[in-house]
Amino acid sequence: MTFSPLSVPSTRTNSNQLTVAGLIFGCLLFAGAFLIFLQFARVVIDQVAVVQSLRTISGAAHTHSNKYHRGFPPTMAALGPPSAGDPDAAAAGLIDAQLASGVKYGYVFAYAPRSSHYGVAPEHFGTSADPMREGVNGVRHFFIDDTGVVRTEWRAPAGAASTPEPLQSIFRVP
């Protein structure tokens, strides 16, 4: 009786196939990390722009108050451009239309004038900026009032009692 050698299928993989698979995996890993970095960079850039927008609103509110002598404007729309004609107290043309609408850079801006006495023109104001979708558009919440101090909170609405922080703190990661 003669035995023929059994044919065993080869379990070895071609080294070229492993190299290509490794390169593809490496490229996908790099691309994923790069996309995460781009998202983080966009959020940081938008947050810097939000702080600048708050400063713009504050400056525009002070300009409006000084120019029209009626206290601070009653709405943020009063700082925006007029729909037709020359600027006036109702539409001073001090900020762009998108910012006057209250939504820009993935943040919602809310302007609130305040008076210390009923029936008196607003003597103070506060403006908050909160991300439309926290974690996607940003994690920082901002606030500015008539003092011009920008205040911020992580993952919670900012207000007059929030800690003032310099612009550089926007780049800090929690």
Look up the pTM and report it: 0.77
Contact 63, 70 (CB under 8 A): no
The DSSP element (H or E) to which 30 belongs, if any, is helix 15-68
pLDDT band (50, 70, 90) for residue 17: confident
SS3 55: helix
Judged against a pLDDT cut of 90, whether residue 20 lies above it is answered with no
pLDDT band (50, 70, 90) for residue 174: very low
CA distance 172 to 174: 6
Phi, psi (rounded to 5 degrees) for 78? -65, -15
- Amino acid at the residue 24: I
**Mean pLDDT of all residues in 87-96:** 94
**Mean pLDDT of all residues in 38-63:** 88
Cβ count within 10 A of residue 16: 8
CA distance 108 to 152: 15
**Mean pLDDT of all residues in 102-125:** 91
The set of residues, in sequence order, having a beta carbon less than 8 Å from that of 167 and lying 6+ positions away, is 48, 51, 150
Which of 6-20, 42-56, 124-138, 139-153 has the lowest average pLDDT? 6-20
pLDDT band (50, 70, 90) for residue 12: low
Residue 169: predicted pLDDT: 53
74: left (phi over 0), alpha (psi -120 to 50) or beta: alpha
Tally the residues of the chain. Answer: 174
Sign of the Cα pseudo-torsion (19, 25, 31, 36, in order): negative
The set of residues, in sequence order, having a beta carbon less than 8 Å from that of 149 and lying 6+ positions away, is 164
Sign of the Cα pseudo-torsion (48, 49, 52, 58, in order): negative
Residue 155: predicted pLDDT: 86
Residue 173: predicted pLDDT: 45
Judged against a pLDDT cut of 60, whether residue 16 lies above it is answered with yes
CA distance 26 to 19: 10
